[in-house]
Amino acid sequence: MERILITGAGGQLGSELSNALAAKYGNEAIIATDINEKAGEKFDYCTFEILDVLDKERLESLVEQYKVTQVYHLAAILSAVGEKNPLFTWKLNMDSLLNVLELGRMKKINKIYWPSSIAVFGKNTPVDNTPQDCVMDPTTVYGISKLAGERWCAYYFEKYGVDVRSLRYPGLIGYKSAAGGGTTDYAVDIFRAAIDGEEFECFLDKDMYLPMMYMPDAIKATLDLMDAPKEDITIRSSYNVSAISFSPKDIYKVLLKYYPDFKIKYNPDFRQEIAASWPDSIDDTRARLDWDWQHDYDLEKMAKDILSHLAPNK
């Protein structure tokens, strides 16, 4: 029986991925962990443990206690927040990944999932249809940690045979939990403002195109990658995956169809510079060839789905 430990389970991706993994493997298979005790409120359906991912001994003892077979290591500090404390971001993002990879090397777990990001790309990366392999010169500490992490994943696979798999997520858009600390988060927050009838202040320029993905597609990509036969996985650093690309102006136009009085004002801050260093769109041919990746949601379909689930707060 699989026993799956998820770090950072209380986060935007973690809460939905934990649910999807519970639906697939059964509630008793899931050990959701988070540093934040309050996150436990989301996990009445499965085991929940407090875990600081820098605490290597506790991580190892949880793995032994619950006979864990797979770790989904999601805990990380994202791009915008990471710039406020670069050294701690590096420490948290890198040391925690190495703690998990070491469990793989010691054969204490069989499989690892670790997310990378489009933040691995930089100013000299081709902007359109960014290839899997190209110049990568990230400008944020988050991006640097993801690029180094990708190399560590490939290293642990090649040297020690650790079955670690990874995706370079675009901006992820969900409505079930708040986003936390990313440059792409405006595309999550704009829905709440539209529904609540508030003017939205956008921290990116109106024409700032970025690759994005609706959460159900991100969950599907993750589960498909983890299910793929080992021999089909030809990339052990991290796969490009893509779904949609849009700008703040594009998403605003879609929301106007539902809320004709919705107002937006553009007030770009330091996140605009981060976004400008990232690609507009991603070439994910390898994911499509290796494990049949296909996305389901475009911008219109995503917006319709999100708005059908959200109600005004007031």
Q: How far is the CB of 93 from ligand AKB (least distance, A)?
A: 11
Q: Which is nearer to ligand AKB, 97 or 118 (CB)?
A: 118
Q: Could you give the CA distance from residue 227 to residue 165 in angstroms, rounded to a whole number? A: 10
Q: What is the side-by-side strand order in the sheet with 210-214?
A: 171-173, 210-214, 244-246
**Could you say which of 6, 21, 78, 187 contacts ligand AKB (CB under 6 A)?**
78
Q: How far is the CB of 296 from ligand AKB (least distance, A)?
A: 20
Q: How far is the CB of 46 from ligand AKB (least distance, A)?
A: 25
Catalytic residue status for 142 = yes
**Could you say which of 93, 184, 245, 247 contacts ligand AKB (CB under 6 A)?**
184
Binding part of the chain for ligand AKB, among 14-22, 64-72, 96-104, 112-120 by CB under 6 A, reads 112-120
Q: How far is the CB of 183 from ligand AKB (least distance, A)?
A: 4
| Secondary structure element (H or E) that encloses residue 129, with its range | none
Question: Which parts of 24-53 interact with ligand AKB (CB under 6 A)?
Answer: none
Q: Please say whether the beta carbons of 74 and 218 come within 8 A.
A: no
Q: Which is nearer to ligand AKB, 8 or 171 (CB)?
A: 171
**Could you say which of 8, 171, 174, 248 contacts ligand AKB (CB under 6 A)?**
171
Tell me the CB-side half-sphere exposure of residue 74, using CA atoms within 13 A: 25
Q: Which is nearer to ligand AKB, 104 or 171 (CB)?
A: 171
Helices (H) and strands (E) in the chain, counts: 11, 14
Which token pair is 132?
Answer: 């899997």
- CA geometry: angle at 164 spanning 59 and 45, to 5°? 50
**Could you say which of 6, 9, 118, 282 contacts ligand AKB (CB under 6 A)?**
118
The 10 Å Cβ neighbour count of residue 124 is 11
Q: Please say whether the beta carbons of 51 and 7 come within 8 A.
A: yes
Nearest Cα to Cα of residue 188 among 202, 206, 209: 202
Is 117 a binding residue for ligand AKB by CB under 6 A? The answer is: yes
Q: Which of 72, 113, 142, 175 is catalytic?
A: 142
What is the phi-psi region of residue 268: left when phi exceeds 0, alpha when psi lies from -120 to 50, beta otherwise?
beta
Q: Which is nearer to ligand AKB, 139 or 183 (CB)?
A: 183
Beta bridge partners, 244, equal 212
Site string for ligand AKB, 139-168 (x = CB under 6 A): ---x--------------------------
Binding part of the chain for ligand AKB, among 24-32, 181-189, 244-252, 285-293 by CB under 6 A, reads 181-189
- Which phi and psi (to 5°) does residue 263 adopt? -115, 145
| Secondary structure element (H or E) that encloses residue 296, with its range | none
**Could you say which of 138, 182, 248, 279 contacts ligand AKB (CB under 6 A)?**
182
Which token pair is 103?
Answer: 């469990």
Nearest Cα to Cα of residue 213 among 239, 189, 235, 243: 243
Is 183 a binding residue for ligand AKB by CB under 6 A? The answer is: yes
Q: How far is the CB of 182 from ligand AKB (least distance, A)?
A: 3
List, by residue number, the catalytic residues: 142
Contacts with ligand AKB by CB under 6 A lie at: 78-79, 117-119, 142, 169, 171-172, 182-184
